[in-house]
Amino acid sequence: MYYGRLENPPKLFIPGPVKVNPDVLQQLARPTLGHRGKEYAQLHGETVDMLKKILFTNQNVFLSTSSASGIWEASIRNCVGFDETVLATCCGAFSDKWADVVKKCGRNVDELKVEWGKPTLPADIDKKLSTGKYAAVTIVYSETSTGLMNPVYEISDMIKKKYPDVLVFVDCVSAMVGLPMKFDELGWDVAFASVQKAFAIPPGLAVAAVSNRAMEKSKTVPGRGYYFDFQEFAKSAAKNQTPTTPAIPHIMALHYQCTRLLKEGMENVWARHGKMADFVRGWAKEKFDLFCEEKYASNTLTTVRNTRGINVSDVISAVQKKHNVAFGNGYGDLKEKTFRIAHMGDITIDEMKDLVGWINDEIG
């Protein structure tokens, strides 16, 4: 019964987890290692070295056996005192949730909300930060619930110039690898993603870049706990280890994917995502409309506004039935009003051409 249904699940063009190629899946099936042995240390060290090149950082890169939501919590528990306040910029379901996590960690938070699908603009953040009230700001680079890409370059420039003491935490879940990101240049303090998005690996591991000043700050914050304590990560990283037993299958797959990414070159990887996005957006504009203003539409997923009043669920089901692929309905309140197509990682432009062709067949 179970194997009947799951033997041949649909190829995933939902905005994560996304399709994983068979050669990558096989990396997960390699014999496992002792996590305190030299084979693991080599795997860990080489993976982190590659990630530093991929993220353009000379600072800290940690591998966390968790989803990226664990790093939402880690950024707060490590770098924000109980008497400090966070400015959470909210533009969709996941940036909203992060604000909620700040509260759940017992910290003060002010939410700077925009309408879903609209960007958070530097001037709005500037106005809030000018009060001098905030120790840190949370930003989502690419909001997976809406496909909105925030203008993180302009925001980062403004903060670097005017508020150099405010820590900057950036959720890069559906951005990392797919969208241009040079961690050190941007002056960010914590940036992170899960591997089931543009790294094109099944879920179960998160990658976090952490600045040296975030590490210093974390030394001063009490009650950090153990599992997500950046100080523990750093101590173990010095030995090419993790503090707790890591998800070795995923790290093998990550090593494999990092090798491929560096061979392609990050500028080329970003450009490839741009081309796929242009194609999908071109189709969306012709047949429907974009949910976000094109300037702020992410290159890793597209949210299409259902201007034709189609029954989105029916179309998703019909395409899945005929072609065994899945794309996403709108998120939460945007269900049926929008739908979402992922174009990141090892998804190809040819797969996108097939997919939109199949959607065209359904909508007539």
**Residues that bind a copy of itself in the complex, under the rule CB under 8 A:** 2, 5-6, 8-9, 11-12, 14, 16-17, 20, 22, 25-26, 28-35, 37, 39, 42-43, 46, 65-70, 72-73, 77, 100-101, 104-106, 194, 196, 202-205, 222-229, 243-250, 252, 255, 326
Residue 54 CB partners (closer than 8 Å, separation 6+):
177, 258, 261, 262, 266
The Cα 102–Cα 309 span in angstroms is: 38
Work out the angle at residue 258's Cα, subtended by the Cα atoms of residues 149 and 69, and round it to the nearest 5 degrees.
50
Whether the upstream peptide bond of residue 17 has omega within 30° of 0, thus cis, is yes
Sheet of 338-342: strands edge to edge?
289-290, 301-305, 338-342, 328-329
Residues in the chain: 364
Smallest gap from Cβ 315 to a copy of itself, in A, equals 16
Smallest gap from Cβ 258 to a copy of itself, in A, equals 11
Work out the angle at residue 200's Cα, subtended by the Cα atoms of residues 77 and 204, and round it to the nearest 5 degrees.
40
Contact 300, 344 (CB under 8 A): yes
Residue 199's CB is within 10 A of a number of other CB atoms, namely: 27
Q: Given the complex with a copy of itself, which of 255 and 281 has the nearer CB atom? A: 255
Smallest gap from Cβ 72 to a copy of itself, in A, equals 7
Smallest gap from Cβ 131 to a copy of itself, in A, equals 26
Q: Given the complex with a copy of itself, which of 131 and 244 has the nearer CB atom? A: 244
**What one-character DSSP code corresponds to residue 35?**
T
Smallest gap from Cβ 253 to a copy of itself, in A, equals 9
The Cα 187–Cα 176 span in angstroms is: 16
CA distances in angstroms from 178 to 262, 269, 300, listed in the order given:
13, 7, 6
Q: Given the complex with a copy of itself, which of 97 and 272 has the nearer CB atom? A: 97
Tell me if residue 364 falls in helix, strand or coil: coil
Residue 291 CB partners (closer than 8 Å, separation 6+):
117, 146, 147, 303, 304, 305, 334, 338
Smallest gap from Cβ 46 to a copy of itself, in A, equals 6
The Cα 287–Cα 284 span in angstroms is: 5
Q: Given the complex with a copy of itself, which of 30 and 161 has the nearer CB atom? A: 30
Q: Given the complex with a copy of itself, which of 23 and 289 has the nearer CB atom? A: 23
Q: Given the complex with a copy of itself, which of 282 and 332 has the nearer CB atom? A: 332
Smallest gap from Cβ 107 to a copy of itself, in A, equals 9
Smallest gap from Cβ 119 to a copy of itself, in A, equals 25
Helices 349-363 and 312-323, axial angle in degrees (round to 10) = 120
Which residues are paired to 85 by β-bridges? Answer: 108
Smallest gap from Cβ 175 to a copy of itself, in A, equals 16
Q: Computed over its alpha carbons, how large is the radius of gyration of the chain?
A: 20
Smallest gap from Cβ 231 to a copy of itself, in A, equals 10
